Amino acid sequence: EYNVHVHVRANGLAAVALCDREYPVRVAFTLLMKLQDDFVSIHSDEAWRNATTELPFPEINEVIEKYQNPAEADNLMRLQRELDETKIILHKTIDSVLERGVKLDNLVDKSNDLSTQSKMFYQTAKSQNSCCGMM
């Protein structure tokens, strides 16, 4: 039901995340590396190696909160989601344009039929009227 992700830096600093199976692996490792970067920017290697008590790291809550929704936290996932949404909109637009094209084709056909019928009516009326002369 859960995956454990571990990232260990060359200097020995390790970070661990316990995530549900649906959480993207790439995003989990991005989170771990960001936390490590933030931690190292606050505490030197010597400080965390020699620590005998927990070192303060208040930023951890903010970062973890941000990564609760991986689609928002990860730029690549956000771009993919936006791309998928755009693709859906484009497909709908193309379908509606094609549908309009079919409707236009039907109108052109009906217009041609009406024109043909009009010419036939004119010729029939002309031949009918030609038999009767004016006196």
Tens digit of each residue's pLDDT (9 = 90 or more) over 28-48: 999 999 999 999 999 999 999
Tens digit of each residue's pLDDT (9 = 90 or more) over 67-103: 888 877 777 777 878 888 888 888 888 888 888 877 8
Per-residue pLDDT at 35: 93
Per-residue pLDDT at 78: 78
Tokens (6 digits) for 106: 């039907």
Return the CA Rg of the chain: 36
pLDDT reading at 130 higher than 80: no
Per-residue pLDDT at 119: 87
Tens digit of each residue's pLDDT (9 = 90 or more) over 104-125: 888 888 888 888 888 888 888 8
Q: Using CA atoms, how far apart are residues 96 and 133, in angstroms rounded to an integer? A: 56
Q: Using CA atoms, how far apart are residues 118 and 110, in angstroms rounded to an integer? A: 12
pLDDT band at 132 (very low <50, low <70, confident <90, very high): low
Element (H, E) at 97: helix 75-130
pLDDT reading at 133 higher than 80: no
pLDDT above 90 covers a percentage of the chain that reads: 38
| Alpha carbon separation from 68 to 48, 81, 119 (Å, rounded) | 27, 16, 72
Tokens (6 digits) for 100: 């309009």
